[in-house]
Amino acid sequence: MKAEKLAEWVEHASGGQGLAQSDQGPRFPTTRDERWRYTRAGAIVGRPMRPVATAGQAPDSRPLPCLDAWRLVFVDGHFDSANSTLPDAGDLAEGVFIGPVSEGSKRFPEQASQWGHGHFSKTEWFAALQSSSAQDGACILVPAHLDLSSRPILIEHHLSGPGIVSHPRNILHIQQGAKAEILLWTSSDAHADGLVNLALDARVEADAELKLEYVQDEQGRNAHISHLAITQLEGSRLDMHTATARAHWLRNDVRIEQAGERGVSNFNGCFAAAEDEFVDHHTHVDHAQPDGRSAELYKGLALAGGKAVFNGKIVVHPNAQRIEAFQKNSNILLERGSTVYAKPELEIYADDVRCSHGCTTGQFDEDALFYLRSRGLTRPAAKRLLTQAFLSEALNGARAEVQAHVEAVMLTRINPA
């Protein structure tokens, strides 16, 4: 990609903001960069796209319509208050905020000055673009010792049509000893072909708990890059599920930093790449302090012509003793001509550490398939049952509505033959 062409694309895609400190900042990723070895971002910047000044059409219905939740809806990076369901300010305890960043930053200017732009904006080109072009997103502030988990908060980001890029910015701040359950949901219109370039910065303070579910269910042929940076302080807990139920071209970057002692991070993911689709999950957990635990399970499926990437990095810093870190990744190639690149990366600089990882990529067990067929299941039904079983392990612990939705979308979509 020529520098002038890229600059021209950036000019449009950033809505005239350009890239902050473009000279010293991160370079545009190519397959020569280890973190982008299998991921061709060049195609994205080959198509012109712009952020829109006013939001397009919101989808007709809300995801998980039966779920009793506070709902924040954003379309093309703009807050859609008409479709959102929010508490009245007076109904919430002092210091709680559930609303758009645009409003939260005005109501809580002191806190807002500390929000910053997350880990990735300094290391990743698309995240730098996101931060210089940041649009609206959800802001959830939970003050110390408040348990907000009785009602989940569903954040929906929708991309409404062709030629549009959105740069949503989401801020979660769970203060000491507080609890929250948050669902992040992305969708796109069938005609969307631009880019969702989303950032989420979460700070989970001492002894706080965050349950985070992230569902990506996009109908369009748009690209999607997520930058999720989660910082955990001492004794905090994160339970996270990520499901790429449907996406045309997607890259998820997750970084969890255990910046305090005794952090607990459980994070699972599942994804499927059908024909002509690309899904890339990069995860990175940083054990910077002692006595932390992390457990990670990612499961991937690929069909003919589908390509998926999993890269799971675990870093245990010197002096971060007595860490337990587990990682498991299994992938199934459902048909010939499907590809999964899987790579665990362990960097351990402390000596008293329990760390394990397992990574397998294969096909369905022919013996299991035959056993099911010998009991009257057709081959597709047998594969379906095995697929469901395969996914269920990664979805275990997510709320039932999320599990049901993700399974239903994935099973109908991949419909293995």
Closest CA to 253 of 119, 55, 74: 119
Residue placing its CB nearer to other proteins in the complex, 221 or 373: 373
CB atoms within 10 A of CB 358: 11
Choose, by CB under 8 A, the member of 6, 315, 355, 377 that binds other proteins. Answer: 377
Choose, by CB under 8 A, the member of 365, 408, 412, 417 that binds other proteins. Answer: 365
Residue placing its CB nearer to other proteins in the complex, 190 or 381: 381
- Name residue 362's beta-bridge partners: 332
Q: Does 374 bind other proteins (CB under 8 A)?
A: yes
Task: Please answer whether residues 202 and 231 qualify as being in contact, where contact means their C-beta atoms are separated by less than 8 angstroms.
Answer: yes
DSSP H/E element including 269: strand 264-273
Task: Please answer whether residues 232 and 202 qualify as being in contact, where contact means their C-beta atoms are separated by less than 8 angstroms.
Answer: no
SS3 5: helix
Residue placing its CB nearer to other proteins in the complex, 271 or 390: 390
Residue placing its CB nearer to other proteins in the complex, 303 or 394: 394
* Minimum distance, C-beta of residue 328 to other proteins, in the bound complex (Å): 13
Which residue is listed with tokens 């219109």? 189
Name the segment binding other proteins (CB under 8 A); options: 61-69, 244-252, 345-353, 370-378: 370-378
Residue placing its CB nearer to other proteins in the complex, 84 or 268: 268
Choose, by CB under 8 A, the member of 31, 319, 360, 378 that binds other proteins. Answer: 378
Residue placing its CB nearer to other proteins in the complex, 377 or 409: 377
Find the helix packing angle between 379-395 and 400-414, rounded to 10°: 150
Q: Does 393 bind other proteins (CB under 8 A)?
A: yes
Q: Does 375 bind other proteins (CB under 8 A)?
A: yes
* Minimum distance, C-beta of residue 324 to other proteins, in the bound complex (Å): 23
CB atoms within 10 A of CB 38: 16
Q: Does 408 bind other proteins (CB under 8 A)?
A: no
Q: Does 417 bind other proteins (CB under 8 A)?
A: no
Q: Does 390 bind other proteins (CB under 8 A)?
A: yes
Task: Please answer whether residues 112 and 104 qualify as being in contact, where contact means their C-beta atoms are separated by less than 8 angstroms.
Answer: yes
* Minimum distance, C-beta of residue 403 to other proteins, in the bound complex (Å): 13
Closest CA to 225 of 280, 302, 155, 297: 280
Q: What is the residue-wise DSSP string for 366-389?
A: HHHHHHHHTTT--HHHHHHHHHHH
Main-chain phi, psi angles of 302, to 5 degrees: -135, 135
Q: Does 376 bind other proteins (CB under 8 A)?
A: yes
Choose, by CB under 8 A, the member of 381, 404, 408, 417 that binds other proteins. Answer: 381
Q: How far apart are CA 127 and CA 137, in angstroms?
A: 15
Q: Does 411 bind other proteins (CB under 8 A)?
A: no
Choose, by CB under 8 A, the member of 31, 57, 388, 412 that binds other proteins. Answer: 388
Residue placing its CB nearer to other proteins in the complex, 81 or 392: 392
Q: How far apart are CA 199 and CA 264, in angstroms?
A: 22
E-strand stretches of 207-277: 209-217, 223-232, 237-246, 249-258, 264-273
Q: Is the dihedral of CA 57, 399, 227, 89 positive or negative?
A: positive
Q: Does 368 bind other proteins (CB under 8 A)?
A: yes
Copy the structure tokens of residue 125: 């080109």
Q: Which of residues 76-105 bind other proteins (CB under 8 A)?
A: none
Size of the site for other proteins (CB under 8 A): 21
Choose, by CB under 8 A, the member of 155, 308, 372, 398 that binds other proteins. Answer: 372
* Minimum distance, C-beta of residue 400 to other proteins, in the bound complex (Å): 15
Q: How far apart are CA 91 and CA 323, in angstroms?
A: 41
DSSP state, residue 305: T
* Minimum distance, C-beta of residue 365 to other proteins, in the bound complex (Å): 7
Choose, by CB under 8 A, the member of 322, 373, 399, 413 that binds other proteins. Answer: 373
Which residue is listed with tokens 């002038």? 4
DSSP H/E element including 406: helix 400-414
Choose, by CB under 8 A, the member of 57, 370, 408, 412 that binds other proteins. Answer: 370
Q: Does 6 bind other proteins (CB under 8 A)?
A: no
Residue ranges in contact with other proteins by CB under 8 A:
365, 367-368, 370-379, 381, 385-386, 388-390, 392-393
